[in-house]
Structure 1
Amino acid sequence: MGFAEDHLIPLVDEGLGNSAYLLDLGDGRALAVDAGRDLRALRAAARRRRLTVAYAADTHLHADFLSGAVQLAHDAGATVLASAAGRRAFPHRGLADGDEVDLGGLHLRALATPGHTDEHLSFLLLDGGRGVGVFTGGSLIVDSAARTDLLGAERTEELARAQYHSLRRLAVLPEETAVWPTHGAGSFCSAPPGAERTTTIAAQKRTNPLLAAPDEEAFVRRLVASLGSYPAYFARLSERNRRGPTVLAGTPPLPALEAGQVKALLADGGQVVDVRPAAAFAAGHIPGAISIPLREQFATWLGWLLPDTTPLAFVVGDGQDAEEVVWQAYKIGYERLAGHLAGGMPAWRTAGGSAATTAFVTADQASDGPYLDVRQEAEYAAGHVPGALHLELGDLAEPAGHAADAPAGVVVACGHGERAMTAASLLERAGHTGVSVLAGGPAEYAAAHGMRLEAAADGGDR
């Protein structure tokens, strides 16, 4: 059976900004590309189509999530397809540039496209010898290319030059060739906000500013200039993916803990993570707890702000899914999950535990005092409150120690309040008092205080 567009099922992780793909091969088998460790959506899609995953391909050694390929090999007998240059320490079919895999009518051709990583492959899908689409991973993505600084600052330019040649190689594919990247909008590996998840070679030749660069030097300047910060956990996962993640037997447990057990965990150096909405955390929380609301971006901030070696206990609110906490943590390699507080904050108070509060204020209630903006650099540059102090949320966590740079009595703000509440919890853990959190963003604050937002071009603080 040949390729049809409805045979390809994109599976988007909105929190990490990534896409995995499940390709129906037409004979009851499927190919999975860049599947993550949280396989719930992929398995549901396979069940709907009555498919068995026969192949699991990884375009590169991922830094932002643990691969699900080893799990698929264990559970379904899938053949893992990956770069031979990646030296993976588990059974797989190692591929080099130009190698082809017969999928049973369709073929997959490996194209060496280094840049995002050294061993990066793109996979060209062939139907009767004709290329119908290419899985580009972290090479060519929608209107950009994935970052090249994950292997250290000393190699950023070298890899950017490799990325230049990789994108040029992909750009000579027929213009009608579909482009199926892994990294997309929301990914700290790359993509500009609001970008589409998939594209074509023709569309990228029209709209991708990196492909429009007149020469290699201009390309490198543009790509390197676009690189912002990225989560701390990225430094660990490539090697874990090379070794192969531990195979899991179902959803790992998150045991119920009594208040006394949580107190003991804190005394032994553990950490409480409060996953309730920001307003619930503000109204009362365990002193020293870190607020990371359970939402799509939960894994990113967990991995950015806390080490994976610290035992974690969670405060979960009514109606929140503890299983979601587990998978968000496990997909980025956080496995030291001690459990969740049984009965939540009411049980904590009943057991005599103290509770702290944080002021959560609207723009008109916020003081005119120091204003701390914890958004990413690009967000801040696009428009911020005049005179605002800017520290990215990721810079407030230990061991960076930038929490000490925040002034007393500060109003903490982001775009809506979730990241600001996380920042406030870090400041409070570091000993700050009188911290308040803005329920809203800079536009609301500026309007309430008679200001006009500044952009970086205005000469405002950076």
Structure 2
Amino acid sequence: GSACGKNLSKETIGSIGEQKTTNYALRADMTKEEFIKEVTDGLLPPPAYFPMNVRLNKEGYENVENIIADAQALDANAFEVAAQETEALILDVRHQDDFSNGHIPGSIFIGIDGQFAPWVGALILDYKQPILLVTPEGRENETITRLARVGYDQTLGYLQGGFEAWKNAGKEYDTLNAVTAAQLETLLPEGIQVFDVRKPGEYAAEHIENVPSTPLDFINEHWAEFPKHDSFYIHCAGGYRSVIAASILKARGYHNVIDIKGGFAAVRQTGIKTTAYVCPSTLK
């Protein structure tokens, strides 16, 4: 589902009859109190950008075409200078594997092919933050447009030629360390630290035994839990969110973070012991 609700289905069309049969919140014998409890239980707070978007919709916003026209195509040298002089956030929207294999130091990953806008809104709290983009070639305008649609219209420019242009210019770049789920299985007996950055509901349904829940949505509330010097491992469901989290951690100086490739989906294919959260009130 999206940030607008919970338990949303993937279907884009349907009938009222189907909903009455399948929708968890439309039971025929449900009381008003039960309905309220069903639709609000486990519902996360709205992303930080929701109130800002409401205000923009009321007051008006910049024409997207003007924002695209103002964004500059920058070669590697100009991009580096702009990053230093403006203190802009470098936002890398390529695939997570591409980011892991090489990225500009200090850049943040939020992939354009994932739930891009919701994660931008949840994690970049200042919508006036100047932004410099690293995108797949040919997707610069798309990225600028999708940022502007949720109120982020301070895109200064993008790296012309993409990340390859940065490498070809001989600029410094960083990589993200990673292990497979199979490798993780051999490491767990050594007492390594693992963190689960999925949503609380996903964690409650099933998680690696003795691994804490540190949701990406609330990563700013968990800094004290991540070790500053010892290596630690993070995972999400499939690999997208864990790389977002890892990029944020590395930008904050946590270079000892290691991603678990394939996330929990890959973990479940191993012999790693998992468990589900049981609410104390349900215990007899």
State TM-score, norm by structure 2: 0.85
Equivalent in the alignment of 1:309 = 128
How far off its partner does 1:325 sit?
A: 0.8
> Which residue, 179, 182, 188 being the options, matches 1:361?
179
Taking structure 1 as reference, are residues 345 and 373 closer, same or farther at Cα in structure 2, changes over 3 Å only?
same
Equivalent in the alignment of 2:7 = 192
Q: Is the 8 A contact 2:6 2:43 kept in 1?
A: no
The superposition leaves residues 187-214 of structure 1 with CA deviations (integer Å, 9 ceiling, x where unpaired) of: 2111414353333333333333333263
Report 1:196-345 matches (<5 A): 196-212=11-27, 214-249=30-65, 252-253=68-69, 254-267=71-84, 268-306=86-124, 307-318=126-137, 321-345=139-163
**Aligned residue identity for 1:240:** L
What SS class does the counterpart of residue 156 from structure 2 fall into?
strand
**Structure ranking higher on relative contact order (CA contacts 8 Å, 6+ apart):** 2
Instruction: Give ranges in structure 2 of 5+ residues lacking alignment.
Output: none
The superposition leaves residues 135-182 of structure 1 with CA deviations (integer Å, 9 ceiling, x where unpaired) of: xxxxxxxxxxxxxxxxxxxxxxxxxxxxxxxxxxxxxxxxxxxxxxxx
**Aligned residue identity for 1:322:** E
Percentage of pairs with the same residue: 31
Taking structure 1 as reference, are residues 349 and 208 closer, same or farther at Cα in structure 2, changes over 3 Å only?
closer
Provide the aligned length of Structure 1 versus Structure 2. Answer: 269
Q: Matches of 2:76 and 2:97 in 1, distance apart?
A: 22
Taking structure 1 as reference, are residues 229 and 371 closer, same or farther at Cα in structure 2, changes over 3 Å only?
farther
> Which residue, 232, 245, 248 being the options, matches 1:426?
248
Q: Matches of 2:225 and 2:6 in 1, distance apart?
A: 30
What SS class does the counterpart of residue 237 from structure 2 fall into?
coil
Q: Is the 8 A contact 1:265 1:271 kept in 2?
A: no
Q: Is the 8 A contact 1:259 1:342 kept in 2?
A: yes
Greater share of helix:
2
How far off its partner does 1:352 sit?
A: 4.4
What SS class does the counterpart of residue 231 from structure 2 fall into?
coil
**Aligned residue identity for 2:141:** E
Greater share of strand:
1
Q: Does 1:387 align with 2:221?
A: no
How far off its partner does 1:304 sit?
A: 1.4
Larger Rg: 1 or 2? 1
Q: Does 1:451 align with 2:267?
A: no
Instruction: Give ranges in structure 1 of 5+ residues lacking alignment.
Output: 1-185
State TM-score, norm by structure 1: 0.54
Structure 1 runs (4+) deviating above 4 angstroms are 248-251
